[in-house]
Chain A
Amino acid sequence: MSESAFTWRAGGCHCGGVRFEVALPAIVEAQTCNCSMCAKTGFVHVIVPESRFRIVKGAERLAEYTFNTRVAKHLFCAECGVKSFYRPRSNPDGWSVNARCLDATEGFELRIENFDGQNWEANAAGLAHLSKEHA
């Protein structure tokens, strides 16, 4: 897919301290996850390669939380607690952006599937392609 197939979309946390942009196609694959962390934060994953994500504002306001293998870097706004994006364990070469934090939901179609994160080891490989630069 060529660069022009993507449109940069803006989003951020609740207090406005953290802002990001993510380049999304017209049809966006997203995942909810039933693992202990995602269930508690209500995260809706849009996983993208490094080149399709940028922090616009507030990197210094991000608090980092890790647990278990400590590979995933869970990032949230220290002011309002919102987790707008993070480095997922399944895709440490890319980013997972929270679809709930996008400013607008018009202009693209969000297709949400359930990811069984309670059985992460058996399922995570199925997500690896999402952060490849030329997927």
Chain B
Amino acid sequence: MLQLAGHCHCGAIHVILEPGRPTAELPLRACQCGFCRRHGAATTSHPESRLHIEATPGSLNRYRFGRRAVEALLCEECGVYVASTLEADGRRFATLNIAGVALAGFEDRIPEIAIYDDETDEQRLARRKARWTPTVLVEAQPSA
């Protein structure tokens, strides 16, 4: 099974994405919210993908803002924005910042502009549960 690996700049947070389908078919989005714009984020998520995030103990800055429903995972050491995650129905979902972890396979893509300003809280949660990637987050010394 295809696995794409990446990490933040200092390497404290590693990710492995199983795309679940050709990467060219995965979305690449440039959310226009004030957080994503300042981080220059280009994100992907897909319900058929699987994401594994492995963070060195002490390296995770879990930043919440706005409605505080989501944790943005930042590296304490290098500041890089890795992913946003949500826990719902006992499962974790995430959207991955491809730029932040320099994931291969997206190099020549221009992200589509994404604006979610008009969503209600319910619509936002439903969209994330439907579109974000089932994710496992572990805090452990990187195995590789």
Chain-A contact segment, one of B18-26, B35-43, B121-129, B135-143: B35-43
Neighbouring A residues of B72 by C-beta, 8 Å:
80-81
Q: On chain B, which size bracket covers the interface?
A: 20 to 34
Question: Is B116 in contact with chain A by the CB < 8 A criterion?
Answer: no
Is A43 an interface position by the 8 A CB rule? Answer: yes
**CB distance A37 to B9 under 8 Å?**
yes
28 A–B contacts from the bound complex (CB under 8 Å): A14-B35, A14-B65, A15-B63, A39-B99, A40-B8, A40-B80, A40-B102, A41-B40, A41-B79, A42-B39, A42-B40, A42-B42, A63-B79, A65-B77, A67-B10, A74-B78, A76-B78, A77-B79, A79-B61, A79-B63, A80-B35, A80-B38, A80-B72, A81-B39, A81-B61, A81-B74, A81-B80, A100-B40
A interface with B by C-beta (< 8 Å) = 13-15, 36-37, 39-44, 63, 65, 67, 74, 76-84, 98, 100-101
A67–B12 Cα gap in the complex (Å)?
13
B10 cross-chain contacts in A, Cβ below 8 A: 65, 67
A40 and B100 in contact (CB under 8 A), knowing A67-B10, A81-B63? yes
Verify A74–B39 contact, CB threshold 8 A.
no
B101 within 8 A of partner (CB): yes
In the complex, what's the smallest C-beta–C-beta distance from A96 to chain B, in angstroms? Answer: 14
Whether A40 pairs with B63 at a CB distance below 8 angstroms is no
**B17 on the A face (CB < 8 A):** no
Complex Cα spacing A44 to B72, Å: 21
B42 closest partner in A (C-beta): A42
Instruction: State whether A14 touches B34 (Cβ < 8 A).
Output: yes
The 5 closest A-B pairs by CB, nearest first: A42-B40, A76-B79, A81-B74, A82-B38, A81-B79
One digit per residue, 1 when the CB lies within 8 angstroms of any chain A CB and 0 when it does not, for chain B 78-104 equals 111100000000000000000111100
Q: Does the CB pair B9–A40 fall under 8 Å?
A: yes
Identify A67's interface contact among B9, B35, B37, CB under 8 A.
Answer: B9
Smallest beta-carbon distance B62→chain A, Å: 11
Quick one: given A40-B9, A67-B9, A81-B63, are A14 and B38 in contact (CB under 8 Å)? yes
Residue of A with least CB distance to B77: A65
